[in-house]
Chains A and B, each alone.
Chain A
């Protein structure tokens, strides 16, 4: 897997989306990226707030809910991009990271990639940054983003991957890091 190539594709996709996709609701209040509907959410309630509510009610179950919701969306997005006609693995990953960047997730980089282990670094994960900003409690919180990436990569590699968040901005680290391994 050529990591530099993935980054280049990510930037190309990001720029192409900026150029071609209007980030604004149409006359009916609908935003579409290609053929899928998207809507704008505040990161403070959608990431940190959601985790906080679930954490209060479900305790440890909160992590699973966010992770599984993200995993599901990651899988759906893989099938969506597959339907658009992308074939090469590098192109899949690069385009998806470009889409996530366009959606406001910031720069997400593949740090290393081999058959059974993938290391991913998120420079400005909204989950981590918003949690740190609002709740100040030091902990790893990027369960939703971790789920999205695992769901997408598992579908791509046709292997069940599961990540561990080894660094998190909300835990005091400079970035968020996910180490995904084959189950």
Chain B
């Protein structure tokens, strides 16, 4: 069942709160040695056009490869966001939040200490927004039927890159579809889930829309 307007409003508040927390903590700032790390992982800023790898390089399996790479990415992101900081690390975070945004930012951080779907998903969409992927939302996340979606409200980097390199008339976001699927597989705790991009800006649609569904019904 789709979220009601009120539910969506509350979930979007979690997304925005987490976005503000990450921005306040400035977690993407490289160290003096040029290393970016957050959530116990090393991260890289990639030129988005990298995602428009010329099809002749990998061949006809390119879209499948990108989807599978996305599955790994989704799993890694979900696990990273679940990571609990050590007590001393947590203390440092609290001080940093207070210094940079005061009580307001600390409240935002408290608001994002979520343990249940779909709040976890919207917290992740806040991360996606911060990480330059796009600003996604979901209109449905149903644990029982293992159905969900992700709706990019602004152009995701993969469609952007491919449109820039002349891709048109067909869906483009295979890596992102894989990532969203990997996230839902982790959140739902089941592997028999696939994702598909049903609408894409590269195809001329207004948004990129990825739908998740189980491959077999239980």
Contacts and interface: CB of A to CB of B under 8 A. Distances in A.
On whether the two chains bind one another, the answer is yes
Given A18-B29, A37-B160, A23 B34 contact: no
Contact of A72 (B46, B54, B58): B54
A69 interface: yes
Interface string A6-49: 00000000100010000111011111010011111111111101
- B interface, how many residues as a size bin? 35 or more
A128 to B, nearest CB: 12
Residue in A37, A58, A130 with the greatest tally of chain B CB atoms within 10 Å? A37
A20 to B, nearest CB: 13
B132 A31 contact: yes
B53 interface: yes
Residue in A33, A76, A101, A103 with the greatest tally of chain B CB atoms within 10 Å? A103
A104 B44 contact: yes
Contacts of A58: 58
A41 to B, nearest CB: 5
B50 A42 contact: no
Contacts of B29: 18, 23
B34 A101 contact: yes
A69 B57 contact: yes
Interface in B44-94: 44-50, 53-54, 57-58, 61, 65, 68-69, 72-73, 76-77, 80
Interface stretch (B3-11, B101-109, B123-131): B123-131
B69 A29 contact: no
Contacts of A130: 42
Interface of B: 19, 22-23, 26, 28-30, 33-36, 41-50, 53-54, 57-58, 61, 65, 68-69, 72-73, 76-77, 80, 128-136, 153-155, 157, 160-161
Interface of A: 14, 18, 23-25, 27-31, 33, 36-47, 49-50, 53-54, 57-58, 64-65, 68-69, 72-73, 76-77, 100-107, 123-124, 126, 129-130
7 contacts: A23-B28, A40-B130, A44-B76, A65-B57, A65-B58, A104-B43, A124-B33
